[in-house]
Structure 1
Amino acid sequence: MPDTTPLDDREFGQFQSWLHRAAGINLSPAKKALVAGRLFKRLKHYELKSYGEYFKLIMSDQRKGELQVALDLLTTNETYFFREPKHFDFLRQQVLPNAAPGKVFRVWSAASSSGEEPYSLAMTLAEGLGTTPWEVLGSDISTQVLAKARNGHYPMERAANLPQPLLVKYCLKGIGRQDGTFLIDKPLRNRVSFVQVNLNEPLPGLGEFDVIFLRNVMIYFDQPTKTQVVARLLPQLKSGGYFIISHSESLNGVNDTLKLVAPSIYRKP
């Protein structure tokens, strides 16, 4: 088999419409090379001659697990610790000091990817809440990144934005074969739970949250999907709770019940 198999427009269209149906994700034509690159090794694995054949394979019931593999490959996005640090500053300075003592303070990272965001949140809560109990939930559509998140084991370069005192306090440095990596300490890891959630489908019972982070995922959605996803998440947010999106995103025309309190930070009345 040659080292490159062309992905033709018709085949790309099949993946586009499937991903939109399955995950609400809008693949622009500019993403064609990315799709071809990420799926090519699966074609090789099954010794298939075209992307069309691979599409048939994932759509047939014979390979249930392969559908998830394709979904994982096409939905994984880049993330790192304390990304967009202003959001963590806002939590630390404006939100946590007003948390009701004795009540469990809950935060949901709704597009948690490989876990960097939920663990950054966990460190922020552990530092800022004193004796107030708290929990963090991380969810993602990809089972592959959730498995990484549960392990809490990262290459050292991922710690670039992680403040040194927090790195020392909440992480273990890898030695020997694990050199060049770090592990989130077990007591912190145990307070973060991960669950697979497709934001494009009815949500499982997750309870109510004081803060919901929905960052760097809406950029993949078209306007109607954004509207549906936000409408689906809002009932899970307590009154007076905060809804935080990425600085590169906006809720203009998506939702009018939330009040903007700072750039990319909204509050539920």
Structure 2
Amino acid sequence: MKPLSPKAFQRIQEWLYRNAGIQLSAQKGSMVVSRLWRRVEALGLADFDAYLEHVFSPVGEVERAEMLDRLTTNETYFFREPGHFALLRERILPDIRDRAAKVWCAAASTGEEPYSLAMVLADQLGQRWQLTASDICGRALQQARSGLYRMDRLDLLPRDYLKRFCRRGTGHYEGMLLIDPELRARVRFVQHNLLDAWAEPDEFDVIFLRNVLIYFDQPTRQRVLDNLCATLRPGGWLIIGHCESLAGLSLPLQQLAPSIYRMARVPHRQRLSA
């Protein structure tokens, strides 16, 4: 098979940025090859140029979705950045007393983060919570819905949560765990592109959007955060990754600590008229 040509790589770069907001640096050519060459062979095509002609043809819709799935990074594990879960448990949830808490995990990947959130919510609130988990990658969501994971993903999962909310695999599933079906059923998984506005009339108390903004340029970050802020309740919380920042963006949020932001409790127009 011929190497990935500069022209083909540029087509992929432009398409991925336009459709997912993700920028591929010039150094990512080998990553693209490693993730797509099996698809070129599976379709019986001669090279990447022929593959892209198929992908971007009128009959390439299914393969475009496949390519997007393969190029989307899905690296995560249970209770990643544990301080955020402590904040949820100790500060955010105790302040929500008059209704069910509504949480959005906006980059669910293969499900480790939303299930970590679900364990905290079930532990602290019983049945008084709703959790929506979304991702652009259909393949990742399919795995997330299964709730089946390798045991080596569990280093930070609290032992009592492991006993209460997980089932250890035996026989063919030795070395695996399954999220308890009752907890799994409480998590709603939705395929969603963060470049698009949320289509439902939800108001969330907390949005987790962690370790995603690093893949976007500044205009795309603004667009994504505008969409998310439109769904936050007054006083709602936005949690991003520790390596990320909202510096330079115009948003109705107050930074309380690195990676921790909060919407004003009273909308701006009400404060002016008070």
User: d(CA) in 2 for partners of 1:255 and 1:243?
Assistant: 15
Matching of residue 221 in structure 1 with residue 216 in structure 2: yes
| Large movers: runs of 4+ above 6 Å | none
Structure 2, unmatched stretches of 5+, are 265-274
Q: Taking structure 1 as the reference length, what is the TM-score of the superposition?
A: 0.95
Contact 1:212/1:242 (<8 A) preserved: yes
User: d(CA) in 1 for partners of 2:124 and 2:58?
Assistant: 48
Matching of residue 34 in structure 1 with residue 18 in structure 2: no
User: d(CA) in 2 for partners of 1:260 and 1:172?
Assistant: 39
User: d(CA) in 1 for partners of 2:3 and 2:115?
Assistant: 40
Matching of residue 66 in structure 1 with residue 77 in structure 2: no
User: d(CA) in 2 for partners of 1:141 and 1:243?
Assistant: 19
**Structure 1 residue 226 displacement after superposition:** 0.3
Q: Which amino acid aligns with 1:233?
A: L
Instruction: Render the CA deviation track for 1:64-101: whole Å, top value 9, x for unaligned.
Output: 21111100000132010001111001111111111123
**Structure 1 residue 256 displacement after superposition:** 3.6
**Structure 1 residue 63 displacement after superposition:** 2.9
Q: Which amino acid aligns with 1:174?
A: G
Which residue of the partner structure matches residue 122 of structure 2? Answer: 126
Which residue of the partner structure matches residue 201 of structure 1? Answer: 196
Out of 106, 109, 112, the position equivalent to 1:113 is 109
Q: Taking structure 2 as the reference length, what is the TM-score of the superposition?
A: 0.93
Which residue of the partner structure matches residue 79 of structure 2? Answer: 82
Q: Which amino acid aligns with 2:115?
A: Y
Q: Supply the RMSD in Å over aligned alpha carbons.
A: 1.2
Which residue of the partner structure matches residue 272 of structure 2? Answer: none
Contact 1:76/1:145 (<8 A) preserved: no
SS at match of 2:154: helix
Q: Which of 201-210 and 184-193 deviates more?
A: 201-210
Matching of residue 104 in structure 1 with residue 120 in structure 2: no
Which residue of the partner structure matches residue 160 of structure 1? Answer: 155
User: d(CA) in 1 for partners of 2:146 and 2:136?
Assistant: 17
Q: Which amino acid aligns with 1:12?
A: F
Q: Which amino acid aligns with 1:125?
A: L
Q: Which amino acid aligns with 2:105?
A: S
